[in-house]
Amino acid sequence: MEVCCQLPVLPLDRPVPQHVLSRRGAISFSSSSALFGCPNPRQLSQRRGAISYDSSDQTALYIRMLGSCVIFKQLSTRDVRVRSRAGFETERRGSHPYIDFRIFHSNSEIEVSVSARNVRRLLSFQRYLRSSRFFRGITVPNSSNILDDDYNGQAKCMLEKVGNWNFDIFLFDRLTNGNSLVSLTFHLFNLHGLIEHFQLDTMKLRRFLVMVQEDYHSQNPYHNAVHAADVTQAMHCYLKEPKLSESLTPWDVLLSLIAAATHDLDHPGVNQPFLIKTNHYLATLYKNTSVLENHHWRSAVGLLRESGLFAHMSLENRQLMESQIGDLILATDISQQNEYLSMFRSHLDRGDLCLEDANHRHFILQMALKCADICNPCRTWELSKQWSEKVTEEFFHQGDIEKKYHLGVSPLCDRQTETIANIQIGFMTYLVEPLFAEWARFSNTRLSQTMLGHLGLNKASWKGVQREQSGGGEDTDPAFEEMDSDILPQEPRLS
């Protein structure tokens, strides 16, 4: 047996002792980010939730443990199981796979039992559990729900209006039985002619989109696949704007839709400051800089490579695609808002944006994705209010955890002192309004005016709620008054 990252050699017939896991106190699963750029293509699939085999060595089982790698060799080739003392959970979507809260308990005991099975392709933890139950004949709850013809018909009718700004993604998600991201993105690929233009295998495309959807955590109130579908739909609306539709190439549209669909991939439901103060390995890996955005990007690259969707392209084109998708996703880091907004404003002041220039088009796509990511206050009140409640619920859940483990409650995360109205008014005032005002300067269309109109009405509505709650208190949350990355949550996606 070999052990990497200086972990001690362990006998195969014994459980992993506690001192080996003392750094985190539990087995967790890491992402493709640690392996990004790895020269061995067989290892590229070792992303989050990794249980995988090197096909060159069928007796080697790789288990990623919070950024470290343990390699067990000389195992039999039947039935792989990795379980904690408590056993498998039915669904881990909302259990923060990167944040194992047993790290705060010194007495946690973990037992690991490992045997081998000839698995060629890496499965994420959730998909591994689902597939293993399926092959053992065990029914997974909610796995047998099938849409009837009526629901399918309604979903198709909604897709005919996918370019409308009042598109109700919550209704569409119900009509597609929770498959809004797969259904909507596949439809947009077809609508924009990308499948034919890039000669994509439709089965590989659907497989890629299913893996993307599965790697969002459905129990996150906000950062889940429905949010990703909503951002993708908004991005489609922006791509239809005259200035963009007349200038963008199929390559630009392809990058935009993939980046929108994957921009929050595998989000753990907590923000960057939480990862930093808990000494999370991702924060260390990315040196406390755009931690979540880097992880979303690297996870997306892992899925692209695993699916083989663009395997028919040249290596140079694939590498360019991965890099440019990264540029788009990294632009969604809210702590970099002022930098991007300043560049955008300067271009508009000088009037030097030329969309015939590939670099300028790419910058505009970055700004478009930023708008799509935080456009919820620009939706109708009915939709915007739902998003506001969901993101605040996610913030407050993080605050509850921080209180429980005496970590110090992050700004905007204390349910005892914050309200949805205060958070939303501050968010709209300091982040949304400046961005969409500049976007309207760039693309002064009916859509831009509609978004600004909804933004004004929604802000007024929240101010009304605020007055009712506080009797005329402050109009904005003081946490937003300083645009400092140490103060603002790095991944709020407030709405």
Q: Which residues are annotated as a binding site for AMP?
A: 223-227, 264, 373, 424
Q: Is 223 a catalytic residue?
A: yes
Instruction: Please enumerate, by residue number, every residue annotated as part of a binding site for Zn(2+).
Output: 227, 263-264, 373
Instruction: Say which of 96, 192, 217, 223 is annotated catalytic.
Output: 223
| Three-state secondary structure string covering the chain | CEECCCCCCCCCCCCCCHHHHCCCCCCCCCCHHHHCCCCCHHHCCCCCCCEEECCCCCCCEEEEECCEEEEECCCCCCCCCCCCCCCCCCCCCCCCCCCCHHHHCCCCCCCCCCCCCCCCCCECHHHHHHHHHHHCCCCCCCCCCCCCHHHHHHHHHHHCCCCCCCCCHHHHHHHCCCCHHHHHHHHHHHHCCHHHHCCCCHHHHHHHHHHHHHCCCCCCCCCCHHHHHHHHHHHHHHHCCHHHHCCCCHHHHHHHHHHHHHCCCCCCCCCHHHHHHCCCHHHHHCCCCCHHHHHHHHHHHHHHHHHCCCCCCCHHHHHHHHHHHHHHHHCCCHHHHHHHHHHHHHHHHHCCCCCCCHHHHHHHHHHHHHHHHCCHHHCCHHHHHHHHHHHHHHHHHHHHHHHHCCCCCCCCCCCCCCCHHHHHHHHHHHHHHHHHHHHHHHCCCHHHHHHHHHHHHHHHHHHHHHHHHHCCCCCCCHHHCCCCCCCCCCCCCCC
Please give the positions annotated as active site.
223
